[in-house]
Each structure stands twice: as C-alpha cells, then as structure tokens.
Amino acid sequence: MTDPGASQPEQQDLLPGLAPRPASRRPAPVPVTTAAVDPVARVLVDVALAHLDRPFDYAVPESMSEVAVPGVRVKVRFAGQEVQGYVVARAAVSEHTGRLTPIRRVVSGEPVLSPEITALTHVVAQRYAGTRSDVLRLAVPPRHATVERAAAWERAEPPQLDRATLTGAWEHHPPGPAFVEGLLRGDPVRAVWSAAPATDWPALLAAAAAASYAAGRGSLVLVPDGKDLDRVEAAVVDLVGAGHHVALRADSGPSRRYRDFLAVSRGARRIVLGTRSAAFAPVHDLGLLALWDDGDDLHSEPRAPYPHAREVLLLRAEAQSASVLLGGFARTVEAEYLVRTGWARELLPPRDLVRQRVTVSITGASDRDLARDPTARSARLPRQASELIRSALATGPVLVQTPRSGYAASLACERCRTPARCATCSGPLRLTGPSTPPACRWCGTEWLGWVCAECGHRGLRAPVVGDARTAEELGRSFPGVRVLTSSGASVLATVTDRSGIVVATPGAEPSAPDGYAAVVLLDTWLALGRTDLRAQEEAVRRWLNAAALVRPGGDVVAVGDPASPALQALVRWDPAGFARREMAERQSAHLPPASRLATVTGEPDALEQALAAFEAPAGAEVLGPVPSGDEGEVRAVIRVPRALGPDLSAALGDLQRTRSSRKLPAVRVQVDPPSLG
C-alpha cells in the first residue's frame, strides 16, 4: 500500500474546501533492525485503563538492545499515542501474534524499576483492586535529567557497631534484645512493639535499622510525618554517623526527590527513612521494614488505589522474607491481629517499668459526682488538673492536649456533655443560626424541644474547644506563665525546658528535650463522641501519644469520664489489652480486621449497574447503597470474612476491568477504607 498523503500531496492540497496541510509529511516508516538477542521487550505502559493493566510486547531495535534493560523508562507508541512505559523483561519470543511495534525511545539507561518493586506494584494493585500504573506513580518519582547525570555516590558500608549498644537500646522492651540479635544475624524476625511511656522511640528504631545494616542488609523505616522523620534521622546519624542513610521527604522538590531516590535505587544508601510514599523505595538487600504508629491516618495514601503503608510493608515482607517491626505507643487492631495469629511476636515493657515511668489519673465527674453536682462535668479544667499544671510548671514544661478546633461544631448536652444526636437518624445536631432550633446535620430534622437522652436535661451548648481558646483560658488561669500553641499550620517540632504551658492538638505535640513535667488531656469525651468506626481506637492512640511525652516519673491527667473503657486503658497504660478488647468487639460486629471491607462509590445508576454485575465471592454481604459524602454519589459497602479478602479484591479487580473495557461510567473502589465516615 502506498501512502496517499505522501504520493499525491499536491492533488490533495488543491482540492477545494480543504485547508492546506502543512508541508511536512510523516516520514515513511524506517525499517528497524531488531536486536539479535532477546528482541522482545515486555513493557508496562502508563495507561489508566484497568483492562490494559498488563505488559505489552514491543520490538527492541538493535541500537537500543544494550540500554533497553528491565527497569528503564521507555517511550512507546500505544494505540497511536506516545506513552511512557517501563521495560519489565526482555524475551526471545512474544506470545503476541501480530507485528510488534518497535520501542520509540529509551528515556534513560537508569533502571528505576527494580524487579522487586515491579512485583510489589503488582501485588499492591491486586490487593487494592487498582491498576499498576497508579501504583507505579506512587512508587517511582518523576525523572530529573540533570540530577541523573550529576548524581554519584560511593556505596556506603556499615561501620563497626557495638552489639551491646544495639541490643541495650531495647532492654526495656523484652524480648527486644533477642529481636535485635535476630536482625544482626540477618534472620527474618517480626514484632509488634508497644513502646513504654517516655521511650526515646527514634533511638530504638535507629538501633533496629542499624542492626539490620550491620548484617549487610538494607532497612526501611517509615514514620507518619516530617517532624517524626527529623527525629529518626537525627537518631540514625547519632548511631551510625552521616552518609549511610537517606530521608525521603514528601515536601522535597523534584530534583531532591529524584536524587534521594537514586541514592536508594543505586544501592548507595541502604538505611532509608521516610513517610508513606517511601513504602515503595527500592532498598537494596532489604532486611528490615519498620513502621512507627501505624494507627496514624497519615500512613493511608489519599491517591488511588489508596494503599496503607503498613499493608504495603507487610506485602513486601512476605515477598522478600524481610523482618518487620510495627511500633507505637498505641496498638491498632491490625497489629493485634498479627500478634494473635502468631505472625509477629510482642515487644512489651514490663508493668513495673511502666508504673515507674508514668502515673495517669482521670479527673472529671463519675456518675456519683454527677448525681451530687450535675454541673461537675462542665468544668473544663477541674481543680486536680489545674493543681497539677501549677506544681509541674515549677520543674518543667507542661503539655496540654486539646481536640482540634472545628472538631466539634456539633452540639452537646449543657449538663452532661453527651453529644446531641438526632432521634430519627442519630446524626449530630447543630445550630444554623442564632434564632433557629437545632437541626440534624444529616437529615435536617429540627428539634425544638430537644431533651438529652442521657440525663434528661434540656439545655444545649456548643462545646467551646480548640487550641486558641484553650491557650487563652490557660493564660488567664496562670498569669505570667508563657503559653505556646502547636497546631494546624504552625506546628512546633520541639520546645525547651522553659517553655511553660504548651497547648497542642493531637499529632502536633512538640517533643521536649527531657520530656514534659506533666501532660494534661482535655475534653476526652469529645473524641469518644465521634461516630467513626475507629473513634475509640483513635482516641486512645492520641492520648497515649501525648502522654508518652512525659518525663520519666511524670504525671498525666485526663479530664473525662473514669468509667470509659478507653480512658481506663490509658490509666493502666494497656494498649495491648485495649486492642484485644477492640478486636473482640470488631469480630462480633463483623468489622475489620476479622472482616475485610471495601467500598464502591459512584453515580447511582453506575453503582447499581456495577453491583448487579458484581460477582461477589460466596459469603459476601453488600450493604447499601447509601448517599456518600460526595454530592450526588452513592456508596455501597461490601464485606467478606477476612479469609476471603483476596477473593474480594480479585472480584473487584475483575469488575473494574470489565467496566473499563466496556467503557462504562467509572465507579471508585476502595479496599480497606481507613474510615467509614
């Protein structure tokens, strides 16, 4: 066939009514000599469509044969367009029956996608019913050519490290020293670690990473945010010196980000620290995967397919027989599950050490107090708490944790502070104007004659909380004392021993060099009043994290209801017991981790159609659909017993592939949604 455009350009241009086409023609296809050895490249193309989520074969021109190795970025023509892709393998023959299109261009010889990460992106995509191209976007940073050309490192080798120092760091968390010995031998060991209050946890993470490093293995340590990352980085430098690690920061610019990535992917740095996106870092000779505070929702990736860093690490550990360390002051039900099934062992401080480190008490009204004095609970800062603050200030800074402002725009009973709920749908009540009756946020029902279901009181109050308001109140109560705040956009990383009162919202607590003289937890009832599935677990996690910042021997006071199981877990400092209790409750309610949940969200018609076509695994329950948070969208929840989790993921993956290939309107699938708000 001749190309009509090429053979008769003048004629075409002379046709009336046709715009003259530019003189430059598409060059006639130049026949390429394909590579003598392994002329086929399997390429993962960067295409978002679920049914195209597999490698496609391309011909390797002889001229590219040397550089088109697994892991390199290439440009290929796919369905007529030029798309980005990664070579994942070379082969002698192709399964494909048609002609193979040659690779257009090898972008660079840098193999940025290692075989381990290729495999990982596959299992993560499967697990979350997403596409590899989405996961690859999370795993490999954009290229920066200048950096790639200039970057060069000597491969760092572990210095001599003192075994006693490494195991000694763990002596308070038995059998921590044995765990570290395992790392030093290079054995795959797995632990769930519940840190004692006032533990210098970055130092322990550093010791674990260093032990793995000393065994010639790489380690990956993930923390929730940049503030924690700074602390762990400092601890690593302290222990092994500079030049052995990289800290992969979410806020690094493109060049810094790519440079740090290359230091890891080239194997020059094998202690890798980072936040959630570093879960995919191609650490060489991977020995240890560690994660701090796995309950923090910052570990949950907000971009599709929404993987959780903990699950990515667990999948990685399975594939590569690496060691695992899940640590925190609190314990998630997921971590508890790993202990329960024997997959991981517990590293726990002995009870007497905990008692020595911290004394937690609760102040606030018991039911008996309330019977005597119904206003007792409305005192925001009870006498016991303010006395503690006063006496502690003499010896050091005092941390006051207060719920985020805006956290409780809804109303509560004026007397007992039980959150006010709609009697029709249990939604939270709010005020929309100064003269309107309280109305339900969810269903809009107005409640003119509201009566508290708990105590029968008729008055409502808007709970006044928030760090600014708290700081103001404390400033009045303690004239002459410095009051700092750390929250939202202005988070303090550290404070000094002379900082006075430090008011912070959960997650924004600054660390104090020698710990806080006292920690006060305000408005604990608010966190417990939330409707979320994980409200209790999350509340306990936040309190433990704040309380853990106390100096050894310090006092913690929580203002709240002493009968609350969550506060009792705090008083006993028993994250493991609380996790066991939560797990039992979840089990009976068929909630994770005993069950595996997924949500499917979309336009009502699309969702209905999707659910009708969905081939659910036997034993699956489909709940809903109900209106979702997004305007006009609805959401269904699908639930299966945990053992059927992989079947559920596979079925949802099939659903997405089918819908994509039939060009049906998209529905969003989320496996293990972090919350069901």
Partner DNA sequence: TTAACTGGAAAA
Partner DNA sequence: TTTCCAGTTAAC
Nearest to DNA of 383, 663 (CB atom): 663
Q: Least CB distance from residue 143 to DNA, whole Å?
A: 22
Q: Least CB distance from residue 220 to DNA, whole Å?
A: 34
Strands 550-559 and 516-521: parallel
Do 624 and 634 meet the contact criterion of CB atoms below 8 Å apart?
Answer: yes
Whether omega for the bond prior to residue 513 falls within 30 degrees of 0, making it cis, is no
Nearest to DNA of 98, 342 (CB atom): 98
Closest CA to 417 of 370, 385, 383, 449: 370
Give the C-alpha separation, 158 to 181, whole Å: 16
Nearest to DNA of 74, 638 (CB atom): 74
Q: Least CB distance from residue 82 to DNA, whole Å?
A: 8
Nearest to DNA of 52, 393 (CB atom): 52
- DSSP state, residue 103: P
Nearest to DNA of 378, 658 (CB atom): 658
Tokens, residue 561: 């209801």
Give the C-alpha separation, 575 to 572, whole Å: 9
Separation of first and last alpha carbons in the chain? 61
406: left (phi over 0), alpha (psi -120 to 50) or beta: left
Nearest to DNA of 98, 479 (CB atom): 98
Q: Least CB distance from residue 51 to DNA, whole Å?
A: 8
Q: Least CB distance from residue 134 to DNA, whole Å?
A: 17
Three-state DSSP at 612 gives helix
Nearest to DNA of 57, 301 (CB atom): 57
Closest CA to 547 of 373, 368, 357, 379: 357
- DSSP state, residue 250: T
Nearest to DNA of 27, 629 (CB atom): 27
Q: Least CB distance from residue 8 to DNA, whole Å?
A: 14
Tokens, residue 661: 């290939």
Q: Rounded to whole angstroms, what are the CA distances from 137 to 84, 108, 311, 411? A: 11, 18, 18, 43
Q: Which residue has the tokens 């200048």?
A: 146
Do 296 and 163 meet the contact criterion of CB atoms below 8 Å apart?
Answer: no
Strands 460-461 and 634-641: unpaired
Nearest to DNA of 172, 657 (CB atom): 657
Nearest to DNA of 97, 435 (CB atom): 97
Q: Least CB distance from residue 17 to DNA, whole Å?
A: 12
Nearest to DNA of 57, 582 (CB atom): 57
Q: Least CB distance from residue 123 to DNA, whole Å?
A: 22
Q: Enumerate binding residues for DNA (CB under 7 A).
A: 26, 49, 52, 56-59, 77-81, 94, 96, 98-101, 661, 663
Q: Least CB distance from residue 22 to DNA, whole Å?
A: 13
Give the C-alpha separation, 206 to 344, whole Å: 20
Q: Least CB distance from residue 305 to DNA, whole Å?
A: 20
Nearest to DNA of 13, 373 (CB atom): 13
Q: Which residue has the tokens 């089990």?
A: 587
Paired with 557 in beta bridges are 361, 520
Paired with 346 in beta bridges are 192
φ/ψ (deg, to 5) at 267: 80, 10
Q: What is the DSSP string of 584-646?
A: HHHHHTT-TTTEEEEEEEE-HHHHHHHHHH--PPTT-EEEEEEE-SSTT-EEEEEEEEGGGHH
Do 395 and 356 meet the contact criterion of CB atoms below 8 Å apart?
Answer: no
Nearest to DNA of 50, 465 (CB atom): 50
Nearest to DNA of 596, 657 (CB atom): 657
Q: Rounded to whole angstroms, what are the CA distances from 570 to 197, 338, 535, 567? A: 11, 22, 15, 5
Give the C-alpha separation, 291 to 259, whole Å: 23
Q: Least CB distance from residue 56 to DNA, whole Å?
A: 4
Closest CA to 272 of 283, 286, 258: 283
Q: Least CB distance from residue 6 to DNA, whole Å?
A: 12
Give the C-alpha separation, 349 to 479, whole Å: 39
Do 196 and 549 meet the contact criterion of CB atoms below 8 Å apart?
Answer: no
Do 651 and 614 meet the contact criterion of CB atoms below 8 Å apart?
Answer: yes
Q: Least CB distance from residue 80 to DNA, whole Å?
A: 2
Whether omega for the bond prior to residue 188 falls within 30 degrees of 0, making it cis, is no
Q: To 10 degrees, the CA torsion angle through 12, 15, 17, 22?
A: 30
Q: Least CB distance from residue 260 to DNA, whole Å?
A: 34
Q: Least CB distance from residue 26 to DNA, whole Å?
A: 7
Q: Least CB distance from residue 57 to DNA, whole Å?
A: 3
Sheet strand arrangement including 595-602: 621-627, 634-641, 595-602, 668-671
Nearest to DNA of 25, 149 (CB atom): 25
Farthest-apart Cα atoms in the chain, separation: 101
Q: What is the DSSP string of 389-408?
A: HHHHHTTS-EEEE-PPTTTT
Nearest to DNA of 39, 197 (CB atom): 39
Do 290 and 219 meet the contact criterion of CB atoms below 8 Å apart?
Answer: yes
